[in-house]
Amino acid sequence: MKRKFLVFGFALIGAVLVVPAAARACAVCGLGPDVAGDPTARGFYWGILFLMAMPFAVAGSIGAWLVYRYWRTCAGRWRKEVGLPFAWTHKESER
Amino acid sequence: MLMFLAFETMFFAGMLGVFLVFRLSRTSWPPPGEPYLPIRVTWVNTGILVASAYAMCRAHRAIRVGNQAGLVHGLGLSALLGTTFLAVQGSEWVRLVHFGLTLQSSTYGATFYTLIGCHGIHVLAAVLWLAAVLLLATRGRFSPERHVGVQLCKMYWMFVVGLWLVLFPSVYLM
């Protein structure tokens, strides 16, 4: 079930990349960043792009931090239960 | 706390988006008739704020090893540097108002004061929170096992400093 969702998700991203005209549905974004003689459109373009990216940046940062904390906890547990025979220093072996 | 900081990030992202739309839609900057922003003084002010973040980290590290004096010194230094930052910002705003840049003077003034003003209010709130944590620290309320108050205050302080490191290049240097 999980694999189906992943395949569907990637297929959707691929479809959007193959048909870029469909992705430029926004009337302002479709104009592009360098609209001759219209700096207002350029301002709106970059402003929209920035605001669109922000939720992903915030959620991604929180997610990445949570994954990092989980890996650190797992690594700590591994080091204590399994890694002890492989300790290189007295400090690592906690003696 | 993370959710609160995420909310604050989106709040500032919205305001920064407005500023970006306005800034990038202009061919000349600042707009004709508007004063230039004080960049050199603000560079020094940025250094002061970053130093306060370092002092905050030192304070947190101190309480983690049970160093009460280190915690109090670090928090005190952070509060002092944060207050200095606010004082310098305030004095620069007074000068800008004197040069005619006010909240009502133009879109430039409105976006500038809204964005930087909101950040200033957040720094003020952080300084007040820090003062409360400092008061508790002087009474020995924190220990290596119990110092969540210091951790949360540090998180918010780091957020405020990190936010300034985004706002300063966007508003003053761009």
For residue A94, the distance in angstroms to the closest alpha carbon of chain B comes to 19
Q: Touching check for A62 and chain B: CB below 8 Å?
A: yes
Residue A21 falls inside a structural domain: yes
Q: What is the value of pTM for the model shown?
A: 0.79
Size of interface A-B (CB pairs under 8 A): 45
Nearest chain A CA: its distance from B157 CA (Å): 17
Tokens found for residue B5: 């900081």
Number of domains in chain A: 1
Q: Angle, to 10 degrees, between the axis of helix B107-138 and the axis of helix B68-98?
A: 160
* Within a domain: A80: no
**CB contact, 8 Å: B14 with chain A?**
yes
Q: Supply the CATH classification number for the domain B2-173.
A: 1.20.120.80
Is B26 or A61 the better-scoring residue by pLDDT? A61
Each residue's pLDDT, cut to its tens digit, for chain B (174 residues) gives 888 999 999 999 999 999 988 888 887 777 888 888 888 999 999 999 999 999 999 999 999 999 999 999 999 999 999 999 999 999 999 998 888 888 888 888 898 999 999 999 999 999 999 999 999 999 989 999 888 999 999 999 999 999 999 999 999 887
Nearest to B167 by CA among B46, B62, B66: B46
Q: What is the extent of the structural domain holding A3?
A: 1-27
ipTM above 0.85, yes or no: no
d(CA A40, CA A31): 11
Helices (H), chain B: 2-24, 39-64, 68-98, 107-138, 148-167
